[in-house]
Amino acid sequence: MSDLTPESKQPPVSPWAVFTRRDFLLLWSSNVTVTVSTLLFTLVSSQWLYDTTRSAAQLGLLGAVQLVQLPVALYGGMLADRFDRKKLMTLTQLANVALFVILTLLAAGHNLRPWNIFVASGIAGMFGMLGASASPGLLPRVTHRDLLTHAVTTLNVSGQVLAVLSPILFWQVYVHLGVTAAFGVTAGICLCGAFLPLLISAPGKPEAAAHQSVWKSLKQGASFVSRHQLLPGLYLLDVGVTIVSFYRQLFPMFARQLFGLGAAGTGLLNTANAVGGIIGAFAVFFTARFGKKGLLSLIGTLIYAIFLIAFGFNKSFPLGLVIVGVLGMTDTLSMTMRSTILQLTTPDHLLGRASSIGSFVAMGANNLGQIEVGMLSTAIGAGPTMVIGGVLSVVFVLTVWRFVPGIRNYRYNSLR
């Protein structure tokens, strides 16, 4: 597996050719509603919690709640390899619609409490994880293999565009209409896309459904990932850096501590991060023929670490937006690469479990990082926390660069 696919001499295919396929358009539309509703829920919950408690530690503890959910991600991957993936997506979205409606009613009755946010975050995360592996499992069925790299990148670009628009929507609704309207809009958007997966004509059931026990099923998926030539090293790199530097769900704290801003600052920081993510996702199209993808990942992560240090020292809000944009760009480059390699190199009957293991690793690192950054920021401040995280990240990237040569030497050639 030194080269995933041979170099093609055919002319490049348009990145947007995937939208000519009806099934991909339906899957993409479903992902849009899930992404927007998830982002809105996270933004509204985090901002309301911080406005109510003024506690960075409380924001950090949200990561602890989400950390408890992680085993559900693995179980969700197993479900995606056993049951109809389209129905799984619909049922989990409908469950979250009901949860968002409950939060809307609590807020409308002035009965919303911080503990409600913790409970809701835990439940919403579990339903989200149960359905998260179903979408990657459907992707190879709704587009041609030659377009798969473009399909993955297009979904990532779309996600980053939505990450720009969602904070703006949050900002306007939360500031001008309040928390009740914000949760209500979240519920409505989630409901709009709940039934779209059922309209996909491609089959939703796995080609070879796993019938072994839960433990054996999970073990089989873990064994595949552990023997993969590149994924373990990339996951190690991501985990080591993220645990000491995770920042996205702590933007309310950074907006307040570093720049003296409230919900408007939170929205703009999220938007800047997402704009950087869009640039990073588009960059994937232009690096399709760059063979040393592992080296590209290392360089991108090193730049990310350096800009973490800059973010910690910076006191200017406009410059802070630029720095956060660079962080989003370099993070997206690495994420898109991992997703594409996983799609191209995983058999259909293992795709759900392999995807869920990737989600388990990434979310575990995010949640541990949220706890660590939140708690350390409470003790020493947000700026010094980012500086320390950036320095540790630089050291970790250089260590992996030196002692895990498989990443820097790995070559991956796109089909197009």
* Residue in the block written with tokens 């994420």: 335
Rounded to whole angstroms, the Cα distance separating 220 from 349 reads 11
Give mean pLDDT, residues 76-91.
77
Is the per-residue pLDDT at 97 higher than 90? yes
- pLDDT band at 184; cut points 50, 70, 90: very high
Closest CA to 114 of 191, 61, 170, 66: 61
pLDDT digit string, tens, across residues 385-412: 999 999 999 998 898 888 877 777 766 5
Q: Is 90 exceeded by the pLDDT of residue 307?
A: yes
- Annotate 320-366 with DSSP letters as a single string: HHHHHHHHHHHHHHHHHHHHHHHHHHS-HHHHHHHHHHHHHHHHHHH
CA proximity to 298, closest of 402, 228, 391: 402
CA pair distance 211, 298, nearest whole angstrom: 39
Asked whether 125 and 76 are in contact (CB, 8 A), the reply is no
The answer to whether residues 65 and 129 touch, using CB atoms and an 8 Å cutoff, is no
∠ CA(322), CA(244), CA(73), 5° rounding? Answer: 100
- 17-24: average pLDDT: 77
Q: What is the pLDDT of residue 4?
A: 43
Residue 50: which H helix or E strand, with range? helix 22-53
Q: 15-409: which CATH topology?
A: Growth Hormone; Chain: A; (1.20.1250)
Q: Give the residue-averaged pLDDT of 176-204.
A: 89
Cβ atoms of 296 and 337 closer than 8 Å? yes
Please give the DSSP secondary-structure letter assigned to residue 178: -
- pLDDT tens digit string along 316-360? 999 999 999 999 888 887 777 767 667 666 776 676 677 777 777
- Does pLDDT of 415 surpass 50? no
Residue 41 CA to residue 188 CA, distance in Å, equals: 12
195 three-state secondary structure: coil
Residue 302: which residues within 8 A CB-CB, separation 6 or more? 394, 397, 398, 401
3 or 200, which is more confident: 200
Structure tokens at 269: 């920081």
Asked if 398 and 298 touch (Cβ cutoff 8 Å), the reply is: no
Give the pLDDT score at 98: 93
Which residue, 188, 186, 157, 193, is CA-closest to 169?
Answer: 186
Average pLDDT on 167-185 reads 87
What's the pTM value of the predicted model, to 2 decimals? 0.63
Structure tokens at 140: 């190879």
How far apart are alpha carbons 236 and 166 in whole angstroms?
Answer: 30
pLDDT at 238 (0 to 100): 80
Longest CA–CA span in the chain (Å) reads 63
Q: Is the pLDDT confidence value at 7 over 50? A: no
Kindly list the domain boundaries of the chain, sorted by start residue. Answer: 15-409
Q: How far apart are CA 185 and CA 191, in angstroms?
A: 10
Most confident of 67-81, 122-136, 208-222: 122-136
- Mean pLDDT taken over the chain: 79
Instruction: Tell me the pLDDT tens digit for each residue of 120-129.
Output: 888 888 788 7
Per DSSP, the three-state class of 211 is: coil
